Structure 1
Amino acid sequence: MTHKSLFSRALALAPERLHFAAHSHHLWPDASFEAQQQAWLDANIHADRKWDLIFGDVIPEAQGHVAAELNLPSLDSLVFSSNTHDLLLRVFSGFETKPVRILSTDGEFHSFRRQADRWQEAGEAVVTRVPLEPFDTFADRFVEAARAGGHDWIVVSQVFFRTGGLFDRIADLADLARPEGPWVLVDGYHGFMATPTDLSAVAGQIFYVAGGYKYAMAGEGACFLHAPEGFAPRPVVTGWFSEFGDLSGPPGGVQYRSDGGRFWGATFDVSALYRFNAARRALADAGLDTAAVADHSRGLARAFEAAIRSGRAGRLAEADILNPVQGDAPRARFLALRHPQAADWRARLLDAGVVSDVRDDVIRFGFGLYQDHGDLDRLIQAVHAL
């Protein structure tokens, strides 16, 4: 089955390109083109009254899509920002005592990795990182470290961006979370709309951040935070959007909303939310949900893995497949292959019009709705030519 018609504009711009980096920069569906135009029209039709429309219609629709995707009990726990780094800063600012004792991993994305390193340099944090490898014991080792106590903040990815490994013990961490500490934050960027995710049982205990750059097909700028009630009630980093709603706080002091709105920032480009809403509507109109998209991706990944193992994909057979397809289990939407020549392979494939991406010695091939088995055959031929 093919769903290329949903991406006719993007595919027509580079018809010979094979884009197997849906996990990195997902192509945008046609619906997002019209949505981008609508954002411009609304901004100029409504001018000074634009924000009435944004907070009255656009943001509630986007909150509804996220809440439905994650099975959250309320829309009010969700706020948006241009990037997840901004949201991490707001949560961190909620800690009243420094240094903040952080438990994390050596496989987090750079927005957290770099900032945590700098916090530690500045004496604002003490960071303990649990190694991802060996990954078959990682979940047990991480949960054991969390249960040992002594941490204020536990930060872990749902799906690790480099290796594609999936962490499936979120509920165990949620059991440890308390408003007085520790707080638990899950980076869901490679999980949101990549694999079905139900947070209903843990929504009251964990923070969850993700965005629309990848599998939500919205491009840059549509990032969000789910914030459990009672955790970090007065973040120090706060914007003027947080001044609207039911506020409480010390007389004469800075007051905050009690719901997720306490984490609102300030003015940002909302065109990404138009694109996100349009992409969600387009999927619904096509009868597609995350489970269906994940199944399509899994089928392509399984076929590509089989080609690698059989030798039909040439030298890729020499690589170590870090996240092989295992039945119908939840998984990343990409295959991660480790090899010393990964960067060279990626460069040579790019010269041949095949887009993948590389992280250190790991080359990644991502799968999405705008690919079919004909594209996969072309990919196999291209990598065989290496």
Structure 2
Amino acid sequence: MTMLDLSAHFTQFRAAAPNRINLACHSHHDWPDVTLAAQELCWRDAARLAGDKWGLVFSELIPTVQAAIAKHLNLPDASTIAVAPNTHEFLRRLLSCFPADRPTRILTTDAEFHTARRQLERLEEDGLVAVTRIATEPFASFGERFFAACRAGGYDLVFVSQVFFNSAATCGDLQQLTDALPSRDTYLVIDGYHGFMARPTDLSGIAARAFYLAGGYKYAMAGEGCCFLHCPPGYGARPRDTGWFADFGSLAAPPGKSVGYPEDAGRFLGATFDPSGLYRLAAVFDWLAREGIGAEQAHRHAQALMARFLDAVTPLNIAGLRREDLMTPFGPATEHGNFLTFRTSRAGEIETRLAAVDMHCDHRGDRLRFGFGLSTTAAVVDEAVERIARALAG
């Protein structure tokens, strides 16, 4: 496994908080220095072009971002990618594609992030959706159980995370998942927020069948406001939740309908948004290309750092941070996200005590998480373990 040292590219974030160690999993990943120039470019383009900036955004910026996303996911057609400020917009838009005269039948898991969890629970309260949830634990049998539920059929929508946010376990092989669906009418949505730019992901074999939802807040290191949805052709032709940006491009409406939609991913666009996140994301993609770094290198880097972290923290024998406390076994033969999750009743206490020494992780209930991105170096991990020992050992 190969560790990188890209600290020279993160000087602005480090200088702003030189004592901070950021191993938070779900929260804000550090941004590389190129994003500062991108943020300034967004401002200057607005000053130079005012309202005409949208011509640049749609003709140059969005196609640049689409092309880079398509390259990293091995998608055959970049025009299948729509952008939005957050993934919740896309979730609403997807849910608005189904018939309104009966509950939408949904298959999902008990470990989806709050964007989906909260929205689906609220819709359940009013009988607008009927949700079947498959338990992710035990992880060893999850794929078998979930694929069996898929094969049983009868669902309008299957929604599942590529990497589960509260464990780092994966949903399994995406091609096998797609193949398990008996009806092509079933929408398959893969939430790739903890997979995109964290794990090598090749969607070429399922691009015509599956939606893929992700964003730049974490592993793409571009911050807020730059999420995307890969939209397979022929699915979701006319979302009821639609914004005026979907009016851009060539529009078509079925006979008797007055609202037209483009046939490409523009049919899933919303309305006016702050484009600065896309500027930052484009700059990150350009920087990664110059450095020759993709998701495979990022994943190997994170694996090496996680191994280093575990080798150093295990001898401390801290309750809650032992190997037996790991929710998902870590090793070369395991499928894993780029973070470690420990199950412990001390999760909140440990996060608080580490924050007191400016060492940042995060927790969800009894799950304590440590994330490892491209801004993290071996030296950062070593210092993190020293602070853990100081704050928790003894």
**TM-score scaled by length of structure 2:** 0.94
Tell me, yes or no, if the aligned pair for 2:151 and 2:182 is still in contact at 8 Å.
no
The answer for the alignment partner of 2:190 in structure 1 is: 186
Tell me, yes or no, if the aligned pair for 2:153 and 2:182 is still in contact at 8 Å.
no
Distance 1:263 1:353, change over 3 A: same
Q: Give the aligned residue type for 1:130.
A: I
The answer for the alignment partner of 1:334 in structure 2 is: 339
1:244 to partner: Cα distance: 2.0
Q: Which moved more, 1:376-385 or 1:213-222?
A: 376-385
- 1:73-92 equivalences under 5 Å are 73-92=76-95
Q: Which moved more, 1:288-297 or 1:154-163?
A: 288-297
Is 1:100 the equivalent of 2:104? yes
- 1:210-229 equivalences under 5 Å are 210-229=214-233
The answer for the alignment partner of 1:347 in structure 2 is: 352
Q: Give the aligned residue type for 2:211.
A: F
The answer for the alignment partner of 2:170 in structure 1 is: 166
Is 1:205 the equivalent of 2:202? no
The answer for the alignment partner of 2:266 in structure 1 is: 261
**For 2:296 and 2:323, how far apart are their aligned partners in 1?**
32
**For 1:118 and 1:24, how far apart are their aligned partners in 2?**
25
Q: Which moved more, 1:340-349 or 1:236-245?
A: 236-245
Is 1:301 the equivalent of 2:306? yes
The answer for the alignment partner of 1:154 in structure 2 is: 158
**For 1:321 and 1:263, how far apart are their aligned partners in 2?**
39
- 1:113-132 equivalences under 5 Å are 113-132=117-136
Tell me, yes or no, if the aligned pair for 1:177 and 1:183 is still in contact at 8 Å.
no
Q: Which moved more, 1:287-296 or 1:78-87?
A: 287-296
Distance 1:130 1:50, change over 3 A: same
1:289 to partner: Cα distance: 1.8
1:241 to partner: Cα distance: 1.2
Structure 2: stretches of 5+ with no match in the other structure: none
SS class of match (1:248): coil
Distance 1:270 1:328, change over 3 A: farther
1:178 to partner: Cα distance: 7.9
Is 1:360 the equivalent of 2:361? no
**For 2:202 and 2:303, how far apart are their aligned partners in 1?**
19
Is 1:235 the equivalent of 2:239? yes
Q: Deviations over 1:243-272 (max 9, x none)?
A: 122222134511111121111111111100
1:53 to partner: Cα distance: 0.4
**For 1:5 and 1:92, how far apart are their aligned partners in 2?**
43
1:314 to partner: Cα distance: 3.3
1:150 to partner: Cα distance: 1.6
The answer for the alignment partner of 1:40 in structure 2 is: 43
1:146 to partner: Cα distance: 1.0
1:123 to partner: Cα distance: 1.2
**For 1:172 and 1:232, how far apart are their aligned partners in 2?**
23
**For 1:267 and 1:337, how far apart are their aligned partners in 2?**
40
SS class of match (1:337): strand
**For 1:148 and 1:235, how far apart are their aligned partners in 2?**
27
Distance 1:42 1:329, change over 3 A: farther
The answer for the alignment partner of 2:66 in structure 1 is: 63
Q: Deviations over 1:80-120 (max 9, x none)?
A: 00100010000110002430010000000000000000111
**For 1:56 and 1:26, how far apart are their aligned partners in 2?**
29
**For 1:331 and 1:294, how far apart are their aligned partners in 2?**
9
Report percent identity of matched pairs.
Answer: 42
SS class of match (1:305): helix
**For 1:118 and 1:110, how far apart are their aligned partners in 2?**
12
Given candidates 369, 374, 392, the residue that maps to 1:369 is 374
Q: Give the aligned residue type for 2:131.
A: V
SS class of match (1:144): helix
Distance 1:8 1:294, change over 3 A: same
The answer for the alignment partner of 1:280 in structure 2 is: 285
